[in-house]
Structures are given as C-alpha cells and as structure tokens.
Amino acid sequence: MLDVVQTPLKSLIARRRPGYTLEAPFYTSPQILQTDLDLIFGHHWIYVGVEPDVPEPGDVMVVDIGANSVLIVRDDDLGVKAFHNVCRHRGARLVHEPKTTVGNLVCGYHQWTYNLEGKLVHADHMGKDFDPGCHGLKPVHLRSLAGLLFICLSDDPPADFDEMAAVMTPYIAPHDIANCKVIHQSDLIELGNWKLTMENNRECYHCSANHPELTIPLFAYGFGFSPDSVDETELKQAQRYEQMVCDLGAQWEADGLPSREVDRLDDMVTGYRTQRLPIDRDGESQTIDTKVASKKLLGQFTNSKLGGLSFWTQPNSWHHFMSDHIVTFSVIPLDAERTLLRTKWLVHKDAVEGVDYDLENVIGVWVATNDQDGTLVGWAQAGARSQAYEPGPYSPYTEMLVDKFCNWYIGRLNALLPR
C-alpha cells in the first residue's frame, strides 16, 4: 500500500481503467482529499441549499466546505448573496450558528460591522489612513437555479452553468421552490470518502437487498438491469414499468412538464442528468404508501401523479421533486474518510404540519434509505484500505452512471492539475 500511496497523482489519473472503480488512494489518501477540496470543490458549482433556507431579508445560513466557511445572505432587495465568513480585521469567523437573522453582520471580536452587501460600514480605532472600502467581506459566486443554490469558490466559475440552467429551469420551475419551506434537515456523517457517497447514489444495483422502504415507490430496476439476472416475473414487471415510463412521460410532456432524460454527466464541466420517472405501484410520491404526504400540492399542481423528477449534478448533489414535496441532498467531504450528507425536505410554504402533512410520513423513506446507504459506504471505505483492494468491474447494465461519475471526476482532475 505504501507503494500505491506514493504513486504520483498524475500516474493514478493516467492509468485509470474505464468501467472499473478507482484505485484505493482516491478513497483513502488525505493528500488526494485535499486536492479534491482544492480542484473539485474549489472550482465547480457546489450545491449548498435552497432559497427557502433564507426567505427574509437579513436571514443568513452558514455553509462549511473544507476549511472554508461561507455566508448565504438574503439582502434587503430580496437577492441572495454569498460571502466568506471571515472578518477582514483579525480574520475571525463572523457567524457561528448554522442559521440566524441579522441587521448587519457584526464581528464579535472587535465589532467591525458589515452591511448585507458585505460593505464595511463601521470599524473603531483604525485612524484616518484606514480605507474601509478596501476591507469589505470577500464575495463568493452564487447562482440560483429555480431556487436551488449553487456556489463556486473559484474566481473563475465554470461558464456552462448557464447552459444547464437553461435546460433545467423548465423542469424544476413548476415545482415552485420559492413558495416552499424547509420542514426538516438531516446531517448524516458517513464513514467513507465523498466519492463513495456519490457512487452509492448513482446506481440501484444495491437497492433491492438494502432499501426495503425506497423500493416501494422506486422501481428497483429504474437504472437498468441484466436480462440474465432477473426471473420471468421481474422481467414482466420491468416491461410493464418501461411502458409506464413511455406513457406517463408522454402525458407529462403534453401537460407542459418536461420529463425526458437528459444526461450530460460526463461531457460538461457542470455535469448533470435529469429524468422524470413514474412512482411504482401506480403511486404518487416517495412515501411508504406511495401516496402524497402533503395535501397542499406544490406550485399550480392539481394532479398528484407527477412521478418523481430527479436531478443529479456533479460533483455533489441529487434531488427528487414530486407533486407534493421535494427532497434535496448535498455531499460535503469532511476528511478522506468522512463525508457529510445533508438532506432537506420541502413542502408548500402554506402546508400546516398535522393538518396538511405528517412530518414522519414526508421524511420516512429517505431517513431510512440514507441510514442504510451510510452503512454501505462505510463497508466500501473499510475495504478500500486493504492491500487486497483493487479496482473492480462496474456492471454494464446497472452501474453506468457510477462509471460516468468517475469519468467526470478523473477528467476534471486531469484538466485542472497544474501541468
């Protein structure tokens, strides 16, 4: 293992074998995790939350990515801005709570005071030669895609976000995130590298044996299957489901809801994929009984059977939009072997708990599924540490999207590593 760790990163990248898992150091090396933070999380659009996280002027949310702490702020003009959470005087962190509401952003150390646009408006004892104009909060690039908030820590963010936004806005906008509220957030620490968390999300080969709750609303072979590996009954179900995808998809499109698959996972800098798929068992939503969990449908919806619109982005998010609620996931590395999976559940902002929805019913499927996935990620991490680990083959029938994640990752490292 000592040998492999010492293999230069460029060699590891060059010898990556398509269709196979990555070599062990990509999952275990603290140095490569630092490179991931610098090049992947530091130079791409990172999904961090939703506009309803900061609904009112002065609302602030703190997002930590590696050693960086970022403030997401709703300003007085109802815009959303992002700043580094670092005072320009002695460098102290400004905001300490995950969410708060402020008039100005005041550093607790020496009371340097910034307004919601990040401008330094007050600093005592600095004398006449001091120029407050040079000491505003440092901005962070932020974009809202129909209410989903993405930041980029680089001064030069990838330009193709606009292309993704142009395609995706018609899919997502009908779910009307702006008029939603976050009713629950879970922060789960998985004991594995962030790429194992992502790889786990990009296939359902593991679903049938591990996710009893999720496989009620989600058809387990939605990501594909090998005809040799299913029996006749399963094959018939798959054919029936395929027919539903065609029929319902055509109907949704006709109703003005874009639904067909778009897959740009490994051929864009801002890689993404989307598709609206039927809820199985003739259902409505990702719940245990497959029925809507919130009576107050989102946006202008009147039809509860809108399936599940899924949206996956590289490097760190996925989202499921139903007629009644939204579940949205962001993945943040903590260190080489620990990852934060942050999940938020949204319903219509006017829905009333206990009347329109039952919280446990809204969150039940994904709380259970996340927990199961966390265990699987831990098993994969433990194995990757072994000298016996070597890249294994992805199923060409069910793990194609995992392979695309690795393609994208290796390609981006290759493009961004200094020559």
Contact call for residue 33 and a copy of itself (CB under 8 A):
no
Contact call for residue 141 and a copy of itself (CB under 8 A):
no
Among 408, 174, 365, 171, which residue's Cα sits nearest to residue 275? 171
CB 82 within 8 A of CB 102: no
User: How far apart (Å, rounded) are the C-alpha atoms in residues 371 and 296?
Assistant: 28
Radius of gyration of the chain (CA): 22
Binds a copy of itself by CB under 8 A, chosen from 166, 189, 209, 246 = 209
Binds a copy of itself by CB under 8 A, chosen from 262, 340, 368, 376 = 376
Per the document, the length of the chain is 419
How far from chain centre, in Å, is Cα 149? 10
Smallest separation (angstroms) from a copy of itself to the CB of 23: 10
User: How far apart (Å, rounded) are the C-alpha atoms in residues 69 and 35?
Assistant: 18
Smallest separation (angstroms) from a copy of itself to the CB of 34: 6
Which of 344-374 are b and which e, b meaning 16 or more Cβ less than 10 Å from the residue's Cβ? bbbbbbebeeeebbeeebbbbbbbebbebbb
Smallest separation (angstroms) from a copy of itself to the CB of 417: 11
Smallest separation (angstroms) from a copy of itself to the CB of 182: 25
Contact call for residue 153 and a copy of itself (CB under 8 A):
yes
Contact call for residue 155 and a copy of itself (CB under 8 A):
no
φ and ψ at 358, to 5 degrees? Answer: -110, 120
> What percent of the chain is helix, strand and coil (3-state, nearest 5)?
30, 25, 45
Distances (CA, A) of 185 to 50, 218, 343, 358: 12, 22, 5, 15
Contact call for residue 205 and a copy of itself (CB under 8 A):
yes
Contact call for residue 98 and a copy of itself (CB under 8 A):
no
The residue (of 1 and 352) whose beta carbon lies closer to a copy of itself is 1
- Per DSSP (E only), the strands in 11-138 are 46-50, 59-65, 68-74, 80-84, 99-101, 105-106, 113-114, 120-122
Rounded (10°) CA dihedral 162, 167, 173, 178: -20
Among 381, 399, 39, which residue's Cα sits nearest to residue 189? 381
Lookup result for tokens 């200094």 = 418
Contact call for residue 29 and a copy of itself (CB under 8 A):
no
Contact call for residue 254 and a copy of itself (CB under 8 A):
no
Smallest separation (angstroms) from a copy of itself to the CB of 109: 5
Smallest separation (angstroms) from a copy of itself to the CB of 266: 19
Contact call for residue 229 and a copy of itself (CB under 8 A):
yes
CB 137 within 8 A of CB 118: yes
Site string for a copy of itself, 42-81 (x = CB under 8 A): x------------------------xxx------------
Binds a copy of itself by CB under 8 A, chosen from 282, 300, 392, 419 = 392
The residue (of 88 and 342) whose beta carbon lies closer to a copy of itself is 88
Contact call for residue 100 and a copy of itself (CB under 8 A):
no
Contact call for residue 194 and a copy of itself (CB under 8 A):
no
Residue ranges that bind a copy of itself, judged by CB under 8 A: 1-2, 21, 24, 28, 34-35, 38, 42, 67-69, 84-94, 96, 108-111, 124-128, 130, 135, 138, 153, 199, 205-206, 209-210, 225-226, 228-229, 376, 379-380, 382-390, 392-393, 395-398
